[in-house]
Structure 1
Amino acid sequence: MTKTFDRAAQAVGNIVALEHVNVKIPSQVTSTAFYVVAMGFTRDPYLMVGLENMWINIGQQQIHEPTGGPDVLRGVIGIVMNDLEALQARLAEAKAPLADTKFSYAVENGHVNVTCPWGNKFRCHLPDPQYGDMTLGMPYVEFTVPRGTAPGIAKFYERVMGAPARVDTIRGEKAARTRVGRGQEFIFRETTEPIPAYDGHHVAIYISDFATPHRWLVEHDLVWQESDPYQYRFTKIVDPDKPGEVLFEIEHEVRSLTHPMYLRPLINRNPAQRQRTYVRGRDAFVG
């Protein structure tokens, strides 16, 4: 008898990768103390090595941090790492240097919630099958959106962007979930709480069919920047059935698979390495 499989479960869709989140930060020194020292991430050694910007490597994803702002993402960034106890030890050591900022952390239901010095929130998990084989990376970004917008947001990603999407219930609230790569997703969870005004932060994605979403977005006057042959940007998410009604704002930096930086290898260090306890051959992160 021929076996049957759920082939749809393996479909990634048109969005093949979430690459980075971009938030402006006021201090590169404070950012280094948080993202590199406390969180254990790696500063990209090849690009943006000056004082005006910093790219933080997290597996195959990044956080970009140009000087300015601060920007605060309206939601939480999911992180996978393989040692939450070591993370908690680093975070404890960071209390003094990050005093008088919004930095905080707490353990909850097997994960670690962390707030950066300017209020961006992270939810750190151990590796799990729901994130594929990811041992260090950014499996999701969860946005907080107004009540009643989740169905329209799901339709936007499915019909306009060509990404599998559905509406679920997460922690008692409706949420649109759309795949944005292998083991990655955007989550748009509804709330009745006030949502801060959008401050210009953005996410970067790579898509396979670069032209079809662009055509629809242009027809509805939603592309605000034609960056170059490999990239364009839009900010407003709308219900395809009511394109004049904005559901949520988050700038998307949309890149083609022919973009020169697609699948660029990223350097990740082993944050456990110390001078006094140095182990030869263990400098690089190995999941």
Structure 2
Amino acid sequence: MEHPYDRSAEDTGNIIAYEHLNTRVPDQLLATVFYLTGLGLTRDPYVMPHVANMWVNIGSSQFHLPTGSPQVLGGHVGVVVPSRQALRERMEAVRPLLAGTRYMAHETSQYLELTSPWGNVYRCFEASPEPGSVMLGVLYVQQDVAVGSAAAIARFYREVLGARADVVDDAEGVTAHVASGSGQTLRFHEKAGPLPAYEGAHVAIYLADFSRPYRWLLQRGLITEESNRHQYRYQDIVDVESGAVLTVLEHEMRSLKHPYYGRQLVNRDVSQTGRHYVPGQDDFRWRRA
């Protein structure tokens, strides 16, 4: 019998899904300009419909943007968009509204890199034309870490969280890639020189085996929040042998019984405007048929 498929390529590991990245922003109006009007994303119409927080849908994931002192991820976020050209035009239109902030735009042959008004960096890749490909979503969240730490970080995720994790050494450098659901990764990229202080950003992930990582973290005093029966948090990523802290990134750890698991998110078709409106085309299909 022939065995034509690499079945392991379909494995996800214990992290079933990545849900959101949370970074505080001091100005909800500027956040609206950058994330909604510029990036073309969709504000969640059901949760956080007030001026102190904004949940922004991007395919099957979200950005959470509560009001407060700005938090900047020490790295960048990779996202996929339907059209770089359309994104470029939208960002050019809102550029005057972002004057005086840290907003910047830089384009390479592979992506359009956008810096938010407070310094968070988004690399925007154009969607693949392949059937089944994601047209809108978060590809990865990447944090810069100390040189020599990627292998130990990958080991932490494999042994503590039960995740699929590998170290990739390519043109971008040495990076730990942690599978975080279908086609999404958390990445830890080795970077020489001083690293910025951790400012409090966090990611939310869903685990099939929810309790085993909890017990390991609890025994070592690493649990930082007992949120509720469906969720807990930790932030120190440590060497599994010595206990030395390798990097810090708060994780909101959720079980598959969490009420938000599998929640369907509303994504709008950003090409629907007052002047170019087509009835019945408001919803955006974020995955190709």
**Whole-angstrom distance in 1 between the partners of 2:276 and 2:61:** 29
- The answer for the alignment partner of 1:112 in structure 2 is 112
User: Quick check: 2:28–2:51 contact (8 Å CA) kept in 1?
Assistant: yes
Match of 2:97, SS? coil
Would the alpha carbon gap of residues 132 and 187 (structure 1) be closer, same or farther in structure 2, given more than 3 Å must change?
farther
| TM-superposition CA deviations, 1:79-112 (whole Å, max 9, x none) | 1111111000001011101100111112112211
- The answer for the alignment partner of 2:280 in structure 1 is 281
Match of 2:98, SS? coil
Deviation at 1:131, TM superposition (A): 12
Deviation at 1:242, TM superposition (A): 1.7
Q: Which amino acid aligns with 2:115?
A: T
User: Quick check: 2:153–2:238 contact (8 Å CA) kept in 1?
Assistant: yes
Deviation at 1:277, TM superposition (A): 1.6
Match of 1:97, SS? helix
Query: Given the alignment of the two structures, is residue 166 of structure 1 paired with residue 199 of structure 2, yes or no?
Result: no
- The answer for the alignment partner of 1:32 in structure 2 is 32
| TM-superposition CA deviations, 1:192-249 (whole Å, max 9, x none) | 1321111111000000000111110111111111110000000000111222x00000
User: Quick check: 1:131–1:183 contact (8 Å CA) kept in 2?
Assistant: no
Matches within 5 A, 1:245-264: 245-264=244-263
| TM-superposition CA deviations, 1:16-41 (whole Å, max 9, x none) | 11100000000000100110000000
Identify unmatched segments of 5+ residues in structure 1: none
- The answer for the alignment partner of 2:16 in structure 1 is 16
| Length, aligned pairs only | 286
**Whole-angstrom distance in 1 between the partners of 2:80 and 2:198:** 26
Would the alpha carbon gap of residues 86 and 129 (structure 1) be closer, same or farther in structure 2, given more than 3 Å must change?
closer
Match of 1:96, SS? helix
- The answer for the alignment partner of 1:268 in structure 2 is 267
**Whole-angstrom distance in 2 between the partners of 1:189 and 1:170:** 11
**Whole-angstrom distance in 1 between the partners of 2:89 and 2:109:** 18
Q: Which amino acid aligns with 1:101?
A: T
Deviation at 1:130, TM superposition (A): 10
Matches within 5 A, 1:14-163: 14-128=14-128, 133-163=133-163
Match of 1:90, SS? helix
**Whole-angstrom distance in 2 between the partners of 1:172 and 1:71:** 25
Matches within 5 A, 1:202-213: 202-213=202-213
Would the alpha carbon gap of residues 38 and 48 (structure 1) be closer, same or farther in structure 2, given more than 3 Å must change?
same
Computed over aligned residues only, the root mean square deviation of the Cα atoms, in angstroms, reads: 1.5
Tell me whether 125-134 or 58-67 shows the greater mean CA deviation. 125-134
TM-score (norm 2): 0.96
User: Quick check: 2:83–2:127 contact (8 Å CA) kept in 1?
Assistant: no
User: Quick check: 1:75–1:143 contact (8 Å CA) kept in 2?
Assistant: yes
Would the alpha carbon gap of residues 4 and 276 (structure 1) be closer, same or farther in structure 2, given more than 3 Å must change?
closer
Would the alpha carbon gap of residues 254 and 246 (structure 1) be closer, same or farther in structure 2, given more than 3 Å must change?
same
Deviation at 1:184, TM superposition (A): 0.5
Matches within 5 A, 1:155-194: 155-194=155-194
**Whole-angstrom distance in 2 between the partners of 1:44 and 1:3:** 44
Deviation at 1:174, TM superposition (A): 1.3
Deviation at 1:125, TM superposition (A): 0.9
**Whole-angstrom distance in 1 between the partners of 2:52 and 2:232:** 23
Q: What's the % identity of the aligned pairs?
A: 43
**Whole-angstrom distance in 2 between the partners of 1:229 and 1:131:** 39
**Whole-angstrom distance in 1 between the partners of 2:285 and 2:118:** 30
**Whole-angstrom distance in 1 between the partners of 2:141 and 2:118:** 18
**Whole-angstrom distance in 2 between the partners of 1:184 and 1:3:** 27
